[in-house]
Structure 1
Amino acid sequence: GTYDLILMDIMMPNMDGHQAAKAIRALGIERSDAVTIPIIALSANAFIDDIQESLNSGMNDHISKPINMAELTDTIAKYIK
């Protein structure tokens, strides 16, 4: 219950964003908020397959870099009430 939303970079060392999102969602056994917290992917990869991979890994949305601030704020507003 500490965070309202996660902005998840896809390209990270040791564990990529897809693995991290799956790990967060897997915590749902212990923490119900791990299942419901919105996770938004941030990635330079913008093909349909990249977006679908983000969604398949448990993320709620995908924003391509370079970041368009209007798109980012609109997407955040969609998940933050």
Structure 2
Amino acid sequence: MEETKGSILNGMHFLCAEDNDLNAEILRSMLDLKGASCVICSNGKQVVEAFEESEPDQYDAVLMDVQMPVMNGYEASRRIRTSRRPFGKTIPIIAMTANAFAEDIVRSSEAGMDAHITKPIDENKLKECMLRLLASR
């Protein structure tokens, strides 16, 4: 198994939107094992509120479940992108969804998401995604 300190995820802080308790626990455990931390919100409205209250650079990225109660991930992403907080325009937002059809990827992009990964989250795909997003900044 890869050592924590050698992982791209080591030391990163994620703001996560996940309404399923089991999926949230799996995500938290996976990130913990790689030396990353996260704050998990159970709906899009909570994620937007947590983002609005955050400091610049408090989070390295947002992991956004797409299908959630109260406010879905698409709307939450749009609100982050149009936030009064300038870093809302640049923070990487990664869609997390079981839907991997081309139209789902397009819809995520149209909502302001930078990447799209399928559930269950594979740590290698998350690492590759973060490497790609960080290299493009």
Tell me which residue corresponds to 1:24.
Answer: 80
- Count of residue correspondences: 79
Partner Cα separation in structure 2 for residue 11 and residue 50 of structure 1: 12
TM-superposed deviation, 1:36: 0.4
- Matched with 2:26 is none
Residue 108 of structure 2: aligned partner: 54
Task: Name the larger-Rg structure.
Answer: 2
Q: Deviations over 1:45-64 (max 9, x none)?
A: 11000011000000000001
Specify the code of the residue in structure 2 equivalent to 1:75: C
The TM-score normalised by the length of structure 1 is 0.89
Q: Does 1:64 align with 2:118?
A: yes
CA distance in 2 between counterparts of 1:55 and 1:4 reads 19
Equivalent in the alignment of 1:4: 60
Q: Distance in 2 between matches of 1:79 and 1:49?
A: 21
Q: With a CA cutoff of 8 Å and minimum separation of 6, indicate the structure with the bigger relative contact order.
A: 1
Structure 2, unpaired ranges of 5+: 1-55
User: TM-score, structure 2 length as denominator?
Assistant: 0.55
SS of structure 2 residue aligned to 1:72: helix
% same residue: 43
Partner Cα separation in structure 1 for residue 131 and residue 91 of structure 2: 14
The answer to whether 1:40 aligns with 2:59 is no
Task: Tell me which stretches of 4 or more aligned residues in structure 1 moved more than 4 Å.
Answer: none
Amino acid of the residue matched to residue 52 of structure 1?
V
- Cα shift at 1:3: 1.1
Across the aligned residues of Structure 1 and Structure 2, the Cα RMSD in angstroms comes to 1.2
